[in-house]
Structure 1
Amino acid sequence: MSGEALIYDAELSPKKEDIAGRYAGIVTLFGSYRLVDPDDVVGIEVLVGSDLDGRTVQLPLTYRPEEIDPECTLTDMEHSVLGRRWVSNALGDPVAVAQFIRTILEGDDGATRSDGVPAALDIRGSGSEGKVDVRDVELFEVTRQRAVGTVNIDGNVRSFQLILPHLLRRLNSTGVDANTARLHLIGWLPSMPEKQRVLAELSLRT
């Protein structure tokens, strides 16, 4: 289990619906799925919704009390409990990237919410390595859908490429797709577990 995300009863400005619409073209926000920063500093959330064409899309975000990288900052946000927060592209945040990699490698699932609200999607990594130590992410290239860099996994520095596609395409019925990385994160509606979608793909090199 990826842990529990602490959710506050707070007013947000701008609202998440506004951020989802402005930066991902989301017209109907379904909700989100979350991962947890072990140090409890960075909020890691992926908004999920549909665009004007009815396609399911996602927007990976992090929330921090201080700006991490102006090039990855989307906007600042006023949080009525936590104060000013910086909202960034999660692929440009080393903490979020480390948690996506860990979740995929461990075959872990998403975080629960402290308020009991279910995630928009249930998620699961494809790995089976058990507990892994993922740290020291260095980012060399970042876009809205891709991060390239190096990461320390159990004491070994590996090169990686992590892709979080904007458009969520379906995983075929056998769970095997020639265009899908062996290491990936999948998600599905709790009511329709048979309709799995690819949320992230991970490639590792020595």
Structure 2
Amino acid sequence: MALLHRAEIRPTKLELLATWLPGRDWYQGDTDAQVARVAAYRFDDPAGEVGIETLLVRAGTGPVHQVPLTYRGAPLDGAEEWLVGTVEHSVLGTRWVYDACGDPVYAAALADAVLAGSGQAEEYFEVDGAREVRPASMDIHTDAAGTVEIPRLGAVRRVVDGDPTVIVTDAIELAVLRRLGRTGSAPTGATLTGTWDGVTAPLAYASLR
């Protein structure tokens, strides 16, 4: 479960992405258009230390991009090239925001979602000691839950940025699609798919082999 805070964040996540996305080779969109949130989903970090959120965003009339992010309370050693930027959170303080494809905590959570069907984390606020659940903005599914033994990932050996972005570990490879619904982007292997309001046919988000 993901505890949310009613907090002020500066810069906002979308403001951060507006400056970062145009520098990605896989990004397509009007650099002058405002980056808008389409939907989002989160994974749980079993240790409770790292926030894991995947944003679906669009700039103007451009395609929907999938941007997984991790939020950390301190820099991640050796991950400077994956740093999107830092934000000031009025409750949690300084947060280091990473392209999650370079974060091993995200790789483990994504593998668990694909192979075990762990799904997305339930998001909630605490209001006067009671839990207030925020409805999910989208759904995710896997075609492999319970059919494949979950391997021990081991270390992340390399990450190949692109569309898809490929995360190579000791045991598996994960492919994260960046532009959703792109022609010719059908993945191979166990696949995570999803839908959101207005999109009823599942689109592939990531795959594992």
TM above 0.5: yes
CA drift of 1:114 comes to: 0.7
Contact 1:107 1:130 in 2 (8 A): no
1:30 to 35, 38, 42: 38
5 Å-filtered alignment, 1:70-149, equals 70-115=80-125, 116-129=133-146, 137-144=154-161, 145-149=165-169
1:16 maps to what in 2?
A: 13
Distance, in Å, in 2 between the alignment partners of 1:187 and 1:114 is 21
CA drift of 1:41 comes to: 0.3
Contact 2:158 2:167 in 1 (8 A): yes
2:194 maps to what in 1?
A: 187
Distance, in Å, in 2 between the alignment partners of 1:64 and 1:137 is 21
1:163 to 175, 180, 205: 175
Q: CA 1:202/1:90 → structure 2, altered by over 3 Å: closer, same or farther?
A: same
Contact 1:91 1:143 in 2 (8 A): no
Q: What is the aligned-residue identity percentage?
A: 30
2:60 maps to what in 1?
A: 52
Distance, in Å, in 2 between the alignment partners of 1:178 and 1:28 is 23
Contact 1:30 1:49 in 2 (8 A): yes
Deviation string 1:150-197 (CA, Å, 9 cap, x unpaired) is 2xxxxxxx2x221111101179xxxxx9942230110101565x3211
CA drift of 1:71 comes to: 2.1
Distance, in Å, in 2 between the alignment partners of 1:108 and 1:190 is 22
1:7 to 4, 8, 11: 4
Unaligned 5+ segments in structure 2 are: 23-33, 126-132
TM-score after normalising by structure 2: 0.79
Distance, in Å, in 2 between the alignment partners of 1:149 and 1:22 is 30
Contact 1:102 1:134 in 2 (8 A): no
TM-score after normalising by structure 1: 0.80
Contact 1:140 1:149 in 2 (8 A): yes
Contact 1:20 1:47 in 2 (8 A): no
Contact 1:170 1:195 in 2 (8 A): no
1:67 to 75, 78, 101: 75
